[in-house]
Structure 1
Amino acid sequence: MGRIRILSDQVANQIAAGEVVDRPASVVKELLENAIDAGATRIRIEIEGGGRKLIRMTDNGHGMGSDDAMLAFERHATSKLRTSDDLLQIATLGFRGEALASIASISRLELLTRADDEPSGTRIEIVGGKLTRVEDAGGPAGTTFTIQDLFFNTPARRKFLKSEQTETSHVTALVTHYALAHPDRHFELLSSTHTLLNAPPVAKPEERIYQIFGRDTLDQLLPMAAERPFDHGGLPEPPPWKRDEHYEPPTPGHLRLSGFTAKPELQKLNRNSIYVFVNQRLIRDRLILHAISEAYRNVMPPTSYPVMLLFLEMPPAEVDVNVHPAKTEVRFRQPSLIHDFVRDSIRYTLMKARPAASFLSALGASPTASQALMPGQSEHEHLTEITPPSEYLDSEPPSAQAEAGSAGARSFSAGAEPFTLAAPILPAEAVHLPFAAAAAALSAFAAGAVGHTGPNGQPVLPQQAEAEPQENLNALASLKPLGQLRESFILATNDEGLWIIDQHVAHERVLFEKILRERAVEKVQRQRLLMPLLIDLQPHQMVLFAGIARELERNGFEAEPFGPRTIAIKAAPIGLEGRSLERMVAEVLEQAEHEQTENLEAARTRIAASIACHAAIKVNMPLDPERMRWLLSELGKTEHPTSCPHGRPIALRYSWKDIQRAFQRI
């Protein structure tokens, strides 16, 4: 008997399902795109257990007749292609004809559909790819899919799913994306307990943004619009059209860009707020992401990301959407033209608004900016590299912006290897030297005294040859404050030398360890607010809040839902109030979205670090001598007084011997 065999249809469908369906959100995406292609103006989605137990999608599209309903579950059966030439002119979201067969092979599926011109509908039931029932049934015009027990017959695939909150968050984000792309349709998403998203149809994209993100976000977005032909260069001035009820498709042979881009002060820690659509298809593309990063170069810190809603419209022949089973990646026929057009259009919008460049962009080149991310990275610091979420690991990072321009843009669409961001390799001496010795070595280096060699002939830092014994951690308590430098740094002295202490990160370290100690015995000090603080959240953030609500409570918060998209904070840890409290909650939710796979200990330290950062003494805050003495004393009692929870140094010491050496006393 030969070695090569033809796989059964069931096995082939399960293999295809592994390419098309990797989580409940993938099922929702395929069904949602089919509903949009069917002309549905109202789409209702219900999920249970994050989509693992139940996904039910109902639309009012044109529906299917009995024969079409049966054929829809055959592999490569589609109503959207006829010949191979049609692959070059794809104008629909779905076209492969394998999604339904793949979904049916790994779930318990029921289809109820009725065409507009049919007197009755059709009900079909399929379990694990096997047809179990076909019958006539009544129902409204349109289609209803009911998917139950996803991956019930493929347990190896099921075990890779995340928690219910995580899977629900992915589904919510996906539906939100398509609601943004199709403001003229009604989208409704419900879980087993409440409504996650309800977006009635509106006339303009800005109205949809207001529905989903609120007034604050909309006020910080700049509308942009531009159009140019494919056949010659030159960026025309954006025309004053808007994507509303008077919308017209792009001029034949033209490329059109529209949407909204953020003012520089609206910054995020990851790319999750960058929405890119090509011919109304949600995509992730390294070429477009690189163009966006280039447009914001020197305007926004390289480790921060803008909020952006970007629509690209072009002739279907100019973009190949048949390059990925899940249809999330595309290939452009003229990649450099697309790259430069997107970059220049965004730059034009920013230049027209004349936003001021953030001073933090100058700090992006500092060594601190390339250290590994520590738990609890503060949103307003932007001084560490952020590893993108898993769905963007195949995208080009902004840190790779090394003069790419038009020529470099071609390589980004050629399928480069996935990237990861890692901490730079530092010299061993910088890692293993004691804090005091390292600080003194840097001082000696500045004085030009480096160049000694040890007994084995290896170069050594000067302070290694004559290092003082490492003082215990209580030595910081002996510091005598002399005053403040720009009301941000404390100048202090003791027998060891002169010290400069960053008052904000010093207090941050003190509070961080205090919070962890109190959290361990569940005795975190809290204060009740005179009036509850109401914070509006996006639908997927409500899901994230439900997942971390218990940990927030253990850290001194008293918060609860106050409506479908609002939380009310009635109590908070001491030191947090007003705007700082609101920023801290927003930061924790954004980090929860970024770190969805972290363990409980990482989440605990991240939340504690965020609380400490926002409750700590700020820069540009005058301190009296007694307050400075208290801070230095408390810093000396901490376990790690050398760095804050984010890895930034707290104090620099200019030792007594270094001072003598600088004055040529020794």
Structure 2
Amino acid sequence: MNRISILDPALADKIAAGEVVERPSSVVKELVENSIDAKATQIQIRIIDGGRTLIEVKDNGIGMSKEDAILSIRRHATSKIKTDYDLFSIQTMGFRGEALSAISSVSKFTLMTCEENQVGTKLVCLNSEVVRIEPCALTRGTIIQVEELFYNTPARLKYLKADSSEFSAILDITNKLALAHPEISFSLYSNQKLMFQTSGKDDIIEILSEIFGLQVAKNMHYFEKQTHDFKIYGYTSSISFSKSNRYSIFTYVNGRYIKNKGLTDSVIEGYHELLFENRYPFTVLYIEADPTILDVNIHPTKQDIRISKEFDLRKLIKETIHETLTQTKKINEIRMSSTRQEQQPIQPFFDFSIQEKEETYPSSFTQMENSNETEFVIPQSLPHQEDHYYLPIGQIHGTYIVAQSQDGFIIIDQHAAAERIRYERYQKLFLENHHSIDLLFPLVIELSNSDYQELLPHLSLLKEVKIDAELFGNNAIKITHVPYYLDKIDLKTYVETLIQQIIQNKKIDLNALKDYAIATLACKASLKANAHLSFADMEKIIHDLFACQNPYTCPHGRPTLLKYTLQELQKAFKRT
């Protein structure tokens, strides 16, 4: 008895749809890419209920004949490749001939299309089968309607996320497609409301403004460079504008959005020593290359590709980005401003000099002791503090404090120590219902349109971490009240970091968010490396550190100190 059989075509299409159609945003991507290949100059996307109820993509492309329309929903039917050579020199967005077949197998699918000066054709499909064909009145172009997505695959339907999350993913893919093709006019509607629009005037800065806001767009720098194999160009942000994640680095190869960690890392490496740790730029990187050195046929989504001579390309990207940033006046202005503010002498390897009384380290550490926060200082009578008194003897590289006791010495990371001290203080402050201060000038934070949509359902969480926020215009929020103890930090960076934490963690744990807020606040308000300390300052850090409940690690888990006994030192020098 035979046990192997050929799958029913409808079942095979549903299996294939599992790779091509993961969620509503996958449908939008495939349909819009078809419109781009059809030479459309205007693409309109309509979404109802996050794509569950309706996804409609309308374009003014070249359209299809009746015969091509019928073939288009057949699996592996395509107009884009015909030979082996075509497969290895892809110049279109699509080529596999799977998208329409897969989409029509898991939805109620309607296609209306018309070539120029011809009669239009309307197809209605169920389970990849055409159930009705009729003429329709339509100007040149194509309209595809996808209704009740996953109606016949309940398991897939069950795991769709909230409508707002699904629409955010659709908005994100629309952003990427619009940046890939600034010559095309895009418009995106959600529940009859216009959410995103571009003019199609080939103006990348205009699209960046629509996505990230005007301030970011105004601070983008153009770069361009060409070698024998590659041409790269695009825009990258000045060092004064950055994010806490790398999701705003967009990479395109021959007009196709791709995901490639190596190329993204090359952009980040171009900012080496120019951005703070864990801060990332806004970048749009366009790469043009001969299609024969690219392999797009790796995954049905076509976002993963292989590139010959990738090492050379990564080097080119890194060097071009770095040259662009170092040549701009913005860098010099910030450096000059920083130099005027600090005027810090370079620290010797060991600093044993007696400091003048007025020379204290340039954080708000001492100021904090003089503020109202002193009444919340943790009690400083822990047993181990009296048993092991450490006397500071100097600094190493303006970053590490060296202190000795009767039985040895310790080396303290002054930033990690200050973080621990402030963390435990802010923990106590956070539990108290302290008064807020009104900001003289409310802080307006512009978000990318996709981040804004993601934040909306969770905006109240900012209130839980003592930040009063309200909606303000398109894709922006306004901060009006903050706790008084936030006046010592860069408030904008702090709030942006909290927002990214909320967006990235879909299932928000309020206690974890509060702990993250306290740890972040402690980090941003703390003493930095290469700060010139007096002996009084060093003594105070040591005293306050050992007053903490956990003096041995910072809130992020890094050690605050290393301890060496006199016996270990004598053994190392072979004195015992």
TM-score range, shorter chain: 0.7 to 0.9
| 1:552–1:301 distance in 2 versus 1, CA, 3 Å | closer
- In structure 2, the residue matched to 1:69 is 69
- Displacement of 1:214 in angstroms is 4.0
Task: Give the gaps of 5 or more residues in structure 2.
Answer: 339-379
- What's the TM-score, normalizing by structure 1? 0.66
Superposition deviation, residue 326 in structure 1: 1.1
Number of corresponding residues: 528
Counterpart of 1:330, as a letter, is: I
Residue 208 of structure 1 aligns to a residue whose secondary structure is: helix
Which residue does the alignment assign to 2:235? 260
Counterpart in 2 of 1:179? 178
Aligned residue among 532, 549, 556 for 2:442: 532
Cα deviation, 1:136-159, whole Å, max 9, x if unaligned, reads 444554333333333333233345
Q: Judging changes above 3 Å, is the alpha-carbon distance between structure 1 residues 568 and 481 closer, same or farther for their aligned structure 2 residues?
A: farther
Letter in 2 for 1:222: H
Q: 1:277 to 1:502 in 2, by over 3 A?
A: same
1:194 and 1:564 in contact (8 A); partners too: no
Give per-residue Cα distances to partners, 1:181-225, cap 9 Å, x unaligned.
222222223334865433323343334334433454345543222
CA distance in 2, matches of 1:194, 1:222: 33
Which whole-Å deviations, capped at 9, do the CAs of 1:380-412 have from their partners, x for residues lacking one?
A: xxxxxxxxxxxxxxxxxxxxxxxxxxxxxxxxx
The question of 1:606 aligning with 2:507 is answered no
**Does the 8 Å CA contact 2:221/2:235 hold for their aligned counterparts?**
yes
Decide whether the 8 Å contact of 2:455 with 2:503 is kept in 1.
no
Aligned mate of 1:556, from 466, 488, 501: 466
Cα distance, 1:577 vs structure 2: 4.3
Match of 1:332 in 2: 307
**Residue matched to 2:116:** 116
Alpha-carbon distance, 1:175 to partner = 1.4
Structure 2 SS opposite 1:89:
coil
Q: 1:493 to 1:343 in 2, by over 3 A?
A: closer
2:253 counterpart (265, 278, 290): 278
Residue 660 of structure 1 deviates from its aligned partner by 10
Q: Distance in 2 between matches of 1:569 and 1:498?
A: 46
Q: Is the 8 A contact 2:489 2:525 kept in 1?
A: no
Question: Partner residue of 1:641?
Answer: 551
Pairs within 5 Å for 1:623-662: 639-651=549-561
- Equivalent residue for 1:574, pick from 460, 484, 496: 484
Quote the offset at 1:344 in angstroms: 5.1
Give the TM-score taking structure 2 as reference length: 0.75
For residue 490 of structure 2, give the secondary structure of its aligned residue in structure 1.
Answer: helix
Deviation at 1:609, TM superposition (A): 2.4
Q: Is the 8 A contact 1:24 1:167 kept in 2?
A: yes
How far apart are 1:611 and its partner, in Å? Answer: 3.4
Residue 145 of structure 1: SS of its match in structure 2?
strand
Identify the match of residue 298 of structure 2 among 315, 323, 348.
323
Partner in structure 1 of residue 225 of structure 2 = 226
CA distance in 2, matches of 1:111, 1:558: 48
Structure 1, residues 404-426: CA drift from partner, whole Å, max 9, x if none? xxxxxxxxxxxxxxxxxxxxxxx
Deviation at 1:166, TM superposition (A): 4.1
Aligned partner letter, 1:212: I
User: By how many angstroms is 1:295 displaced?
Assistant: 5.3
Pair 600,99 (structure 1): closer, same or farther in 2 beyond 3 Å = farther
Contact 2:212 2:449 in 1 (8 A): no
Give runs of aligned pairs for residues 391-406 of structure 1, distance below 5 A.
none
2: CA distance, partners of 1:474 / 1:54 = 68
Letter in 2 for 1:319: L
Pairs within 5 Å for 1:22-101: 22-101=22-101
CA contact (8 A) 2:109 2:145 kept: yes
Alpha-carbon distance in 1 for matches of 2:407, 2:435: 36
Quickly say closer, same or farther: Cα 1:529–1:500, change in 2 above 3 A. farther
Q: Which 5+ residue runs of structure 1 have no aligned equivalent?
A: 231-254, 360-470
**AA matched with 2:475:** R
Residue 148 (structure 1) aligned with residue 123 (structure 2):
no
Check whether the contact 2:390–2:542 (CA below 8 A) recurs between aligned residues: no
Residue 645 of structure 1: how far off its partner (Å): 1.9
Cα gap change, 1:104/1:114 in structure 2, threshold over 3 Å: closer, same or farther?
same
- Counterpart of 1:412 in structure 2 is none
2:200 aligned partner, one-letter code: P
For residues 510 and 316 of structure 1, do their structure 2 counterparts lie closer, same or farther at Cα, with a shift above 3 Å needed? same
Q: Distance in 2 between matches of 1:570 and 1:129?
A: 54
For 1:276 and 1:626, locate their aligned partners in 2 and report how far apart those are by CA, in whole Å.
Answer: 47
- Tell me how far apart the structure 2 counterparts of residues 539 and 296 of structure 1 sit (CA, whole Å): 25
Is the Cα–Cα contact under 8 Å of residues 114 and 141 in structure 1 kept in the other structure?
A: yes
Q: Is the aligned partner of 1:13 residue 2:45?
A: no
Q: Match for 1:318: what amino acid?
A: I
Matched, 1:312 2:222: no
Question: 1:317-466 residue pairs with structure 2 within 5 A?
Answer: 317-335=292-310, 338-339=313-314, 341-343=316-318, 345-346=320-321, 349=324
Moved more, 543-552 or 648-657: 648-657
Letter paired with 2:557: G
Residues of 1 paired with 2:55 and 2:541: CA distance?
Answer: 58
Aligned residue identity for 1:311: Y
SS of aligned partner of 2:461: helix
Give, in whole Å, the separation in 2 of the partners of 1:323 and 1:62: 28
Paired with 1:490 and 1:266, the residues of 2 have a C-alpha distance of: 33
- For 2:167 and 2:55, locate their aligned partners in 1 and report how far apart those are by CA, in whole Å: 11
Output one character per residue of 1:69-109: Cα deviation in whole Å (capped at 9) or x when no partner.
33221111222233443323322111221101111212233
Is residue 225–residue 259 contact of structure 1 (8 Å, CA) maintained in 2? yes
Cross-structure match for 2:104: 104
| Residue of structure 1 in register with 2:197 after alignment | 198
- Inter-partner Cα distance in structure 2 for 1:151 and 1:327: 22
Asked if the contact 1:575/1:615 (under 8 Å) is kept, the reply is no
Offset, 1:586: 1.7
Over the matched positions of the two proteins, sequence identity in percent amounts to 34
Give the C-alpha shift of residue 631 in structure 1: 10
- Describe the shift of the 1:140–1:529 C-alpha distance in structure 2 as closer, same or farther (beyond 3 A): farther
| Stretch moving more, 156-165 or 581-590 | 156-165
Residue identity opposite 1:75 in structure 2: R
One-letter identity of the residue aligned with 1:15? I
Q: Deviations over 1:410-449 (max 9, x none)?
A: xxxxxxxxxxxxxxxxxxxxxxxxxxxxxxxxxxxxxxxx
| Cα distance in 1 between the residues matched to 2:464 and 2:315 | 50
